[in-house]
């Protein structure tokens, strides 16, 4: 995730947002973190003319107004956004959520660990993968 482009976090839980901010700081990941609280807000941000395309979207599934699955259905059909890697970070262990997420083209599906150190390890793994991964222009 290193580089200049922002990370888009789509998350409605204030504690999870603070945990993400702390983990990024502890891992010295300096990308700007854009935070939206549901799929509708994330779409508005992505579609804003002044918005910079994120290098990755970290997506919760269980949110009000527009959940993560509904959000994925829209962005993965839009040529402007479908190549942006999306990693689901959720508490949902439901097989249907996993299957539907991958059917909609997510790059990964990870369960949020309750322990902070384990959460940092998850973010470190995501960062390492997306730092060395080659993406199309």
Q: Are 10 and 58 in contact (CB under 8 A)?
A: yes
Give me the pLDDT at residue 133, please.
75
CA distance 114 to 16: 10
In angstroms, the CA 96 to CA 2 distance is 32
CA of 27: how far to CAs of 9, 22, 34, 131, in Å?
16, 9, 17, 13
Specify the CATH number of the domain 7-132: 3.40.50.2300
Q: pLDDT tier at 137 (50, 70, 90 boundaries)?
A: low
**Would the pLDDT of 15 be above 90?**
yes
Residue 1 has pLDDT above 70, yes or no: no
The CA distance from 36 to 82, in Å, is: 18
pLDDT tens, position by position, 105-127: 999 999 999 999 999 999 999 99
Residue 33 bridge partners (DSSP): 7
Structural domain boundaries of the chain? 7-132
Distance CA 90, CA 55 (A): 19
Residue range 96-101: mean pLDDT, rounded:
96
Neighbouring CB atoms inside 10 A of 103's CB total 12
Q: What is the pLDDT of residues 40-95, one digit of tens each?
A: 999 999 999 999 999 999 999 999 989 999 999 999 999 999 999 999 999 989 99
Provide the whole-model pTM: 0.93
């Amino acid at each position: 995730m290193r580089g200049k482009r922002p990370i888009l976090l789509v998350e409605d839980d204030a504690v999870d947002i603070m945990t993400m901010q702390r983990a990024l700081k502890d891992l010295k990941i300096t990308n700007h973190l854009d935070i939206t609280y549901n799929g509708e807000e994330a779409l508005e941000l992505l579609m804003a003319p002044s918005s910079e395309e994120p290098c990755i979207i970290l997506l919760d599934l269980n949110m009000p107004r527009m959940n993560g699955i509904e959000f994925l259905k829209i962005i993965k059909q839009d040529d402007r956004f479908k190549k942006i890697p999306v990693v689901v970070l959720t508490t949902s262990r439901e097989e249907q959520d996993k299957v539907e997420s991958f059917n909609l083209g997510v790059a990964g599906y990870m369960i949020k660990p309750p322990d902070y150190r384990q959460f940092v390890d998850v973010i470190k793994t995501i960062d390492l993968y997306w730092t060395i991964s080659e993406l199309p222009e």
